Amino acid sequence: MTDITASMLLFEIAREAGIKKIIYASTNAVTGWNEKLAQPANDNWTGLPPKVSTADQFRPDSWYGVMKGMAEIAGRYLVDAHQIRFISIRIGSFIGGNEPNDIRHCSTLLTPRDCVQLFSLAVDYQGPIKYLITYGTSGNTDGYQVGFMDIRPAVEILGYRPKDNLIQTHRHRFI
């Protein structure tokens, strides 16, 4: 069974059971080509691409990204056709810990405690927005280097206040 098949079955079972909110763990691979196209051709590049927003067009970088994007579109349908609230969190990187493996992780990593906070806020959210897509990373910025996945919807709508900042605490290991 593919990821999209499993998602569709779960969404339909939830709808039939009268569930009124779905929190979906998605991926930045839904817009992964936006990042790839921003990188120069040389392999020595260690910078960060321009900020990627959930308003950017779908540009999946893999079949996995395609399937997750299709599930997000299905979520839009559930909101419009069945009045189910749908919140999708496009996780940047999650490795189950706080130690980034490379410079990119300093921007994309979502630590366990920030992950718990973000998903808890999504579960508890009762505001006016019925369909929300946000990126999910920790608060990775220091004024010089800024995390390139835009978490503003999580901050402004859900009230997310990340506790961890891998750019401040770990970037020096990779520069």
Residue 6 binned pLDDT confidence (cut-offs 50, 70, 90)? very high
Q: Which CATH class for the 3-39+46-173 domain?
A: alpha beta
Q: Give the dihedral sign, CA 55/60/61/66.
A: positive
Q: What is the pTM of this model?
A: 0.89
Residue 16, both tokens: 């039939």
The predicted pLDDT at position 68 comes to: 95
Over residues 97-111, the mean pLDDT reads 90
The predicted pLDDT at position 49 comes to: 56
**What DSSP string describes 82-116?**
H--EEEEEEESB--SSS--SSHHHHHHB--HHHHH
Query: Any residues with CB less than 8 A from the CB of 47 and at least 6 apart, and which?
Result: none
- Residue 36 vs residue 132, higher pLDDT: 132
Compute the mean pLDDT over every residue in the chain, rounded to the nearest whole number: 88
Q: Which of 65-69, 104-108, 171-175 has the highest mean pLDDT?
A: 65-69
CB 4 within 8 A of CB 62: no
The answer, yes or no, to whether residue 84 has pLDDT greater than 70, is: yes
The predicted pLDDT at position 145 comes to: 55
Taking only the tens place, the pLDDT of each residue in 108-151 is: 999 999 999 999 999 999 999 999 999 999 998 876 556 778 89
Gyration radius from the chain CA atoms: 16
The predicted pLDDT at position 173 comes to: 86
Over residues 94-105, the mean pLDDT reads 91
The answer, yes or no, to whether residue 73 has pLDDT greater than 90, is: yes
